[in-house]
Amino acid sequence: MRTAPIGTCSSVATHSVDTPPRVLCLIALTAAANGRTTSGHLSPAGTSLGAVNVTLFSLTCRAAIRHGARVPTAAMTLWPTGSLGWRSVPFGSGLPPLSWFSLMLRSEHRATVSASGDKTCPVMELASGESSMTDLKGKVAVVTGASKGIGAAIAKRFSEAGASVVVNYSSSKKDADQVVADIKANGGKAIAIKGDVAKAADVERLFAETEKVFNRLDVLVNNAGVYKFAPLAETSEAEFHRQFNINVLGTILATKEAVKHFGAKGGSIINLSSVASAGIADAVVYSGTKGAVDAITHALAAELGPRKIRVNAIAPGGVETEGTHEAGVIGSEFEKQMIGGTPLGRIGQPDDIAHVAVFLASDDSAWVTGERLTASGGLR
């Protein structure tokens, strides 16, 4: 009988992969409710409900999901409260609902936890031939600014999850064509469409061509964006309009056009915000644009919700991209400061953001809208 590891720190807790998935979920819930784990190295026996049991819950559910289960929605919106058992946690309460663990469950990369003095330890790895649980099969997605960096990573991950992808670009045709070629080489479907998101005519053409080729639209990622860090004294009117036109107006124009093409089942809109939306020094314009994106996300989630259109935002921290290399960020003192303020101790990679985007594009996030998910390694 084959077994699948669900925790491999100092000892391994295993359950048969032949065990019914729902039973695996029940094992996790029961263990957490009893304040115990199946591995003594994860927590002392008899520990009351707490983070370590939530970890067990997420690990076991991950194993179950890999073998066909879907974690009950109610289970993903509960938080342990000591001897009182489980209670629902409303969004915005300040406590992390278990729905956050769904992001970990959906990652194709190795999840890590700290235990027994180990720096990190593998929790769950995909067996040979297994695929990510998040399914975008049959969906069509438009990703703006997808020729490089985060946008390119999102386009590729969407394709791997089963979506047909429109790679929008403004000027980097060669890079956009390469993204499309990479997707097609892996058996996916993609096209590249040029268009400036700050121009209404270009945006209309982008979605008209998408409709002509794929005959539907399910997901929009408003990723196109520009930035320039400069102190207030060096801030110009032209730079203000450049950033606001692309980062803010572009988001509005693309969303306005996309909603015309979503079907009766609605769709998912994912906006790219930033931890800078809270305001950082020497980035007054860029911070302002991302603060506006956060406000737009909340406003449109409320407006479009009745049409079954979900609107969420991802707020990355520092991410290593072609842009940050060209700007001289990588290898600079500024990068060292960012890493120093990041609990996970490294700069982000485009795939770190792309995996979150796949979750928000999928039906697994069907009850999530109006949210800003910070994907920054803990940087605030």
Please give the Cα distance from 104 to 100 (Å, whole number).
Answer: 7
Burial of 230 (0-12, 13-18, 19+ CB in 10 A): middle
* 30: Cβ contacts below 8 Å, ≥ 6 apart: none
Contact 100, 54 (CB under 8 A): no
Q: Is 286 a catalytic residue?
A: yes
Please give the Cα distance from 315 to 301 (Å, whole number).
Answer: 16
Phi, psi of 89 (to 5 degrees): -120, 115
Contact 320, 349 (CB under 8 A): yes
Tokens of 161: 């999850």
Task: For the chain, state the CA radius of gyration.
Answer: 21
Half-sphere exposure at residue 54, Cβ-oriented, CA atoms within 13 angstroms:
23
For residue 302, how many other CB atoms are within 10 A of its CB? 12
Residue entry with tokens 């590729």: 156
Alpha helix segments (H runs only) across the chain: 21-33, 51-66, 101-105, 149-160, 173-185, 200-214, 237-244, 250-258, 284-304, 322-326, 333-340, 350-361
Q: Which of 57, 101, 214, 286 is catalytic?
A: 286
Tokens of 318: 């520092």
Burial of 116 (0-12, 13-18, 19+ CB in 10 A): exposed
Tokens of 258: 């996309």
Contact 139, 217 (CB under 8 A): no
**Residues belonging to the active site:** 286
